[in-house]
Amino acid sequence: MEVSITPYRDGPYLLRGPFTLRDQDGVAIANSRRVVALCRCGKSRTRPFCDGTHRLIDFHAPSGLESSLDSSVEDEGQNGD
Amino acid sequence: MAIEIAKEHRGQASARSLPLPPSRGPLTASLFTALLGQPGSPISSNFSLAVENPLADDDLQLALYVCYELHYAELEGVDQRWEWAPSLLGYRALLEAQFESAINALVLPCTPRQRADVGGSLQEILANDESPSLSRYVETQASLEEFLELAIHRSAYQLKEADPHSWAIPRLTGAPKAALVEVQADEYGGGSAERMHSVLFANTMAALGLDARYGHYLAQLPGITLAGVNLMSFFGLHRRLRGALVGHLAGFEMTSSIPNRRYGNALRRMGYGAPATDFYDEHVEADAVHENIAAWDLAHRLASEEPALAADILMGARALLAVEGLWAGHLMAAWQRGETSLPRSCAPIHE
């Protein structure tokens, strides 16, 4: 099974497949889940994992590739916390 | 210790049973009298079944809860054939008709724009919910006694966590079915009975000195608490409402991570750690995954495949928020008055 990373609209990245999370020193980050949600809004208190905080700060981001030419998407991307 | 408790609970789970609680009025009195007799015997209703406020009616909600419980558990002294007895199903339908009207009266209709973007609309509906924040109060101010009451209220669902939503599995196909099963597999411990969320909740109850036996506190629970569980069973047991069940699950998962972190923090504030906090901590990260799968891969995808279900999906989420809001309001109001939120409690819940 290949590893896939899915950014969910206004939410985290879901990571599926056989993966190992390591910090920059190569030390494995403990995780017992097959699927994990990685923080995308930057405000989780359990980074690198998501803890749902994006909902409190009104985080917006598209699921697919963000186009820098599309100003309405860029405006939504500012969560202004 | 935690493992011992889990084993004990698992042993009980294989023969989930509960006693019939005392009746609360004419609806439960006639139902319980019938249930103790021959399966299929008539259920007397020589009185008006109509109640003023079905969602908060102690008698109606307990009657409905027991009707549904026949599908989940064994009721002591009740012949199991009652589950599909026509007289029982007819009686239940009369209760459900009142329940459904009350729900519909409480839930705003959705707009065509909302139906066209179900995932985004679910986020919008949740963001605009103005129910009192029970979890914020519990995190910072609740007493231990109040936390124990919260756990007792929640036991009506959390000792069978995920079961009502599993009714949707055979009623979906394709990608939405796969998404639902992915969420449910995690709820059921991902192959490990010790990690099953209902078992984690039983461990929390035991660690807090509460009785974790299935249905132990049923007699004490007010109508509005039972209404929250009846809502899931009602959606779950009617295929026509599978959209509402999916919306309910999505709403549930999307409003879970943050409150559960607060409940875990409340226990830590009171000096508790694992295993009491395991249930809540597990839900922070698990539901951060589930909420996305439930909102997009399940609910949004289902609406795109079956557009006729979009309105029901949003209705299910709104019904969840409305009933949870009434329930939270009941707890907060009782506590603000310095009273118990379990008015039927007859003994101290904690020594």
Cβ of residue A49 closer than 8 Å to a chain B Cβ: yes
Would an 8 Å CB–CB cutoff place A1 in contact with chain B?
A: no
DSSP state of A22: B
DSSP of B245-290: HHHHHHHHHHTTHHHHHHHHHHHHHTT--TTTTHHHHHHHHHHHHH
- The contacts of residue B294 (CB under 8 Å, 6+ apart) are B179, B183, B246, B249, B250, B252, B253, B254
Asked if the model's pLDDT at residue A69 lies above 80, the reply is no
Nearest-by-CA chain A residue for B182: A35
Residues of B in contact with A9 (CB under 8 A): 119-120, 296
At A38, is the secondary structure helix, strand, or coil?
strand
The predicted-structure confidence for A38-62, as pLDDT tens digits, reads as follows: 999 999 999 999 999 999 999 999 9
Angstroms from A59 CA to nearest CA on chain B: 11
- Single out the residue of B324, B102, B338, B332 nearest to residue B224, CA to CA: B324
Q: Which of B334, B248, B326 is nearest to B53 (CA)?
A: B326
User: A80 pLDDT band (50/70/90 cuts)?
Assistant: very low
Distances (CA, A) of B171 to B85, B177, B181, B244: 23, 8, 12, 12
Q: Does A14 reach chain B within 8 Å, measured CB to CB?
A: yes
Check CB contact under 8 Å for B288 and A33.
no
Q: Chain B contact for A47, CB < 8 A?
A: no
Question: How many angstroms separate the CA atoms of B61 and B320, rounded?
Answer: 16
Per-residue model confidence (pLDDT) at position B250: 98
Please give the residue of chain A at the shortest CA–CA distance from B283. A51
Write the DSSP assignment of B16-76 as a string of letters: -EEPPPPP-SHHHHHHHHHHTSSTT------S----S-GGG-HHHHHHHHHHHHHHHSEET
Q: How confident is the model at residue A70 (pLDDT cuts 50, 70, 90)?
A: low
Contact A15, A41 (CB under 8 A): no
pLDDT the model gives residue B75: 97
Say yes or no: ipTM exceeds 0.95: no
**Which among A10, A52, A63 is the nearest to B257, CB-wise?**
A52
Q: What is the pTM of this model?
A: 0.92
CB contact under 8 A, B288 and A56: no
Confidence of residue A72 (pLDDT cuts 50, 70, 90): low
> Residue A51: which of B257, B293, B295 has the nearest Cβ?
B257
Instruction: Report CB contact under 8 Å: A34, B190.
Output: yes
Q: Do A55 and B284 touch (CB under 8 A)?
A: no
pLDDT score recorded for residue A74: 45
Residues in B lying within 8 Å of A, measured between beta carbons: 119-120, 123, 126-127, 182, 186, 190, 254, 256-258, 261, 284-289, 291-293, 295-296
- SS3 of residue A81 by DSSP: coil
Q: What is the pLDDT along chain B (351 residues), one digit of tens a residue?
A: 444 444 444 444 457 999 999 999 999 999 999 999 999 999 987 777 788 999 999 999 999 999 999 999 999 999 999 999 999 999 999 999 999 999 999 999 999 999 999 999 999 999 999 888 999 999 999 999 999 999 999 999 999 999 999 999 999 999 999 999 999 999 999 999 999 999 999 999 999 999 999 999 999 999 999 999 999 999 999 999 999 999 999 999 999 999 999 999 999 999 999 999 999 999 998 999 999 999 999 999 999 999 999 999 999 999 999 999 999 999 999 999 999 999 775 544 544
Phi-psi category of residue B94: left, alpha or beta, with phi > 0 → left and psi -120 to 50 → alpha? alpha
φ/ψ of residue A35, rounded to 5? -120, 130
Note the pLDDT of residue B49: 76
* Set of chain A residues whose Cβ sits within 8 Å of the Cβ of B258: 51-53, 55-56
